[in-house]
């Protein structure tokens, strides 16, 4: 092999390396896009509706699990249950841009508290919100899973790691 051949091979290797790095950069950009758009808009709406119901339930049944600043703001919302839910959804929608704190004290939330809320949905017909007046005695497995996904999304939106013990316990009940 002469010097010209060696130079030619080296050039090809540099070009291949450059092409590889460009391709890798494109993959990394795609990963960033995927991570930014983890949840489809329609699913996000469902998850936030679930979270709003859960947070509203906590405000009545287990206030100590709510972040004090969130609890105070919610207490200042005048109106019906539906209006309070709308305020909570708006809080959730604006949370990432406003750097708002998580509405729930995530590290204190247990599977037992969450599952108590799930069970309470069977008695939802004492609410003033007509959308909640549904015979939920026959609540489907997918409905339960939607609420669990809503809880996972709540942690995700506020960039809080769900405790492994909570994940594991929820997995047992939602298999």
pLDDT of residue 105: 97
Band of pLDDT at residue 174, cut at 50, 70 and 90: low
**Looking at the structure, do residues 54 and 27 belong to the same domain, yes or no?**
no
Which pLDDT score, from 0 to 100, does residue 12 have?
65
Residues 132 and 118 in one domain: yes
> Do 66 and 74 contact (CB within 8 A), yes or no?
yes
9 and 65 housed in the same domain? no
Q: What is the predicted pLDDT for the residue at 5?
A: 54
Same domain? 127 vs 108: yes
In terms of domains, do 58 and 11 share one?
Answer: no
Give the pLDDT confidence of 20-48 residue by residue, as tens digits.
778 888 888 887 767 666 778 899 999 99
Based on the domain organization, do 60 and 30 belong to the same domain?
A: no
Task: Quick: pLDDT tens for 42-99.
Answer: 999 999 999 999 999 999 999 999 999 999 999 999 989 999 999 999 999 998 788 8
Indicate the SS3 state at residue 66: strand
The pLDDT value recorded for residue 136 is 42
- Split at pLDDT 50, 70, 90, the class of 141 is confident
Same domain, 113 and 130: yes
Give pLDDT, residue 123. Answer: 64
**What is the domain extent for residue 105?**
40-173
- Look up the pTM and report it: 0.72
Number of domains in the chain: 2
For 17, 22, 48, the CA distances from 88, given in Å and listed in that order, are: 51, 44, 9
Here the tokens at position 67 are 């972040």
Neighbours of 153 (CB within 10 A): 20
pLDDT tens digits, one per residue of 88-138: 999 999 987 888 999 999 999 999 999 999 989 876 544 544 444 444 445
> Within this chain, do residues 56 and 30 fall inside the same structural domain, yes or no?
no
**pLDDT of the residue at 67:** 97
**DSSP bridge pairs for 66:** 104
């Amino acid at each position: 092999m002469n010097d010209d051949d060696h130079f030619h091979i080296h050039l090809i290797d540099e070009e291949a390396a450059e092409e590889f790095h460009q391709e890798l950069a494109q993959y990394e950009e795609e990963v960033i896009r995927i991570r930014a758009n983890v949840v489809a808009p329609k699913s996000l709406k469902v998850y936030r509706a679930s979270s709003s119901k859960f947070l509203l339930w906590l405000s009545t049944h287990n206030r100590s699990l709510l972040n004090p600043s969130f609890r105070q703001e919610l207490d200042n919302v005048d109106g019906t249950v539906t209006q309070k839910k709308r305020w909570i959804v708006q809080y959730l929608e604006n949370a990432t841009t406003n750097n708002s704190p998580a509405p729930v004290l995530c590290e204190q939330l247990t599977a037992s508290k969450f599952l108590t809320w799930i069970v309470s949905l069977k008695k939802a017909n004492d609410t003033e919100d007509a959308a909640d007046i549904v015979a939920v005695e026959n609540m489907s497995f997918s409905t339960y899973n939607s609420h669990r996904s809503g809880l996972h999304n709540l942690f995700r939106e506020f960039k809080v790691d769900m405790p492994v013990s909570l994940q594991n316990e929820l997995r047992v009940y939602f298999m």
